[in-house]
Amino acid sequence: MKIFAYEVRKDEIEDFKRLEEKYNVEITLSNEVPSLDNVNMLEGYTAVTILGQGRIDQELLEAMKNIGIQYLTTRTIGTNHIDLEYAKQIGIQVNNASYAPNGVADYTIMLMLLVLRNYKPALWRGQVYDYSLQGLQGKELRSLTIGIIGTGRIGLKVIENLSGFGCKIYAYDPYENPAVSKYATYVSLETIYKECDIISLHTPLTKENYHMINKDTIHKMKDGVILINCARGELMAIDDLIDGIESCKIGGLGLDTVESEEGIIHLDRRLDILTNRQIAYLRQFPNVVMTQHMAFYTKEAVASMVECGIKGILDMN
């Protein structure tokens, strides 16, 4: 079978080569992001694997279908960059990746602690030999109530990790997971907003929860609340986050994902004129830690993502 792999990063190449032998398939590697401009490269292939940089919309799916693509895998857990309904409608089968939730869960705890202990301004000071303490006093997790929204694979692992810190943990998910009750108490979303010192999102992005963190929900939260997003950027309305930081309603943000990050994340844009004012403005605050959607990025997870990208195609075949 001939498979076309888009968006291949250097660190994936070794795994792709290994899988070519393991599954006896022919894989063409490209670092291009799928688009109408390069879809003709799929001529002669029935299967394609992608990452999450490009929008796989109706037009692109149509073009893929016309060229002969039957199977599409995304080497990501999230699938919101693909119009799944349309893919199904036109008969392109789609599969996504899975990997252990530990990497993202570890990272979530790291962001909580970085924000809670004022690491960003401490880092800035250290770089100019300012070793003063003033303004850097933090808080201990054991004194806080943490709210976890979404208790699937990653949310549960975050809760397990947090249980070692001795904090009170509240959780919300429309589908309760019995494994959670050992460490956390399920409560309503309203209670999470009202009572938690740190709120961390671990839900997929859907039409229903787009901008679930917005000026109204932020208004319900405790003054100085810390918000963490290692899930999907569009779960939080970026303009309302900015207002929340400016008004000091929000005490800190740990964002691995942010609204409108496509076209910026995972790319070297140092010499470009970036037009996304909100991201540039939000990232300069001392209490906002922003990273380039890299919570997933561990050696273990990448090997698993590449494996899913190829095996997922063979499973559908």
Task: Work out the end-to-end distance of the chain between its first and last CA atoms, rounded to an integer number of angstroms.
Answer: 10
Is residue 77 a contact point for ligand NAD (CB under 6 A)?
Answer: yes
Please list, in sequence order, all residues whose beta carbon lies within 8 angstroms of the beta carbon of residue 199, skipping any fewer than 6 positions away: 146, 147, 149, 192, 193, 221, 225, 226, 227, 228
Contacts of 216 (CB under 8 A, 6+ apart): none
266 is catalytic: no
How do 47-50 and 185-186 pair as beta strands?
unpaired
| Candidates 119-127, 197-205, 241-249, 281-289; binding stretch for ligand NAD (CB under 6 A) | 197-205
Which of 153, 160, 232, 234 is labelled catalytic?
Answer: 232
Q: Give the closest residue to 55 by CA, choosing from 83, 25, 26.
A: 83
Contact pick of 154, 192, 226, 242 for ligand NAD (by CB under 6 A): 154
* Region near ligand NAD per CB under 6 A, out of 28-36, 83-91, 114-122, 203-211: 203-211
Among 4, 170, 285, 296, binds ligand NAD (CB under 6 A): 296
Other CB atoms within 10 A of residue 313 CB? 24
Distance of alpha carbon 258 from alpha carbon 232, whole angstroms: 7
**Out of 242, 295, 306, 313, the residue judged to bind ligand NAD by CB under 6 A:** 295
Q: If binding is defined by CB under 6 A, does position 108 make contact with ligand NAD?
A: no
62-66 LR contacts (CB < 8 Å, sep 24+): 62/90, 63/36, 63/39, 64/39, 64/92, 65/90, 65/91, 65/92
Q: Give me the phi and psi of 303, to 5 degrees please.
A: -60, -40
Q: One symbol per residue from 217 to 246: x for binding ligand NAD (CB under 6 A), - otherwise; what is it? A: -------------xxx--------------
Q: Of 12, 81, 293, 307, which is the active-site residue?
A: 293
For ligand NAD, the binding residue among 74, 96, 118, 203 (CB under 6 A) is 203
Tokens 């207002």 label which residue?
243
Regarding 307 and contact with ligand NAD (CB under 6 A), the answer is no
Q: 7 catalytic, yes or no?
A: no
By CB under 6 A, residue 81 contacts ligand NAD? no
For residues 47 and 66, what is the distance between their CA atoms, to the nearest angstrom? 13
Residues 159-188 that bind ligand NAD (CB under 6 A): 172-175
Q: Which is nearer to ligand NAD, 118 or 291 (CB)?
A: 291
Binding residues for ligand NAD, per CB under 6 A? Answer: 77-78, 101, 104, 149-155, 172-175, 202-205, 209, 230-232, 256-257, 293, 295-296
Residues identified as active-site: 232, 261, 293
